[in-house]
Amino acid sequence: MLARFHGGLAAGAAAMLDGRLDVSFGRFAGLPADVRARLSQVPMRLNRLAVLVPEDHPLAEPDAVPLGLLAGFPLDVMAGNAGTREWSDLGERLAGAFGLRLARPRAAPVGAAEMGHYLRRHREPVLAGVQIGGIPGAVTRPLVEPVPLGLENLVHPKALRHPGLAALLAAVAELGRARHWLRRPPDSWLPEADEALVSA
């Protein structure tokens, strides 16, 4: 059983369907329907969304960024990265729901140093999770009013049978219950496709 993989779920799904990867994590609802049909998923955790901006950007000043304020800036959802298509789909749904403008697609940076350079060059807020940090010259600001969420799923091929998978599923279930990973904060937003997976 493979234990490590670097990339988005779109790339991970391709590797799983090719037999090169057993399990991956990410936003299942953002995968194409024909890909989802060949995979199984377990809702794992709701993650708060944020923007990553240069330290001297206007959106770096507040501790949190209301979605109404974000509407004044093009939002970069990494649409140029095919390996994270599920993430771009989340950003596009967020933009559609709250009248946000999207930045044009660009070649995606790789690694923290490149991301820092990317932000300094383009100066547009990049959609991220609140846990993202360590980018040189950048800060992470959570989004609020309402709090947008992304659903992280544990994903594996439907035909996979492995004792390690059972152990992983049990660990995710136990941690999720103990840490309330699927508890929604008040005044939050989640795409309908993801909400359907949580409530299924």
By DSSP bridging, strand 138-144 and strand 126-129 are unpaired
Q: What is the pLDDT of residue 199?
A: 87
Phi and psi (nearest 5°) for 133? -160, -175
Q: How far apart are CA 24 and CA 13, in angstroms?
A: 7
Q: Residue 164: left (phi > 0), alpha (psi -120 to 50), or beta?
A: alpha
Q: What is the mean pLDDT of the chain?
A: 93
- pLDDT-flagged residues of the chain (< 70): 1-7
Q: What is the pLDDT of residue 7?
A: 61
Q: What is the pLDDT of residue 80?
A: 83
Q: What is the pLDDT of residue 83?
A: 85
Q: What is the pLDDT of residue 111?
A: 87
Task: Specify the 3-state DSSP secondary structure of 43.
Answer: strand
Note the pTM of the prediction, 2 decimals. 0.91
Task: Specify the 3-state DSSP secondary structure of 33.
Answer: helix
Q: How far apart are CA 67 and CA 143, in angstroms?
A: 6
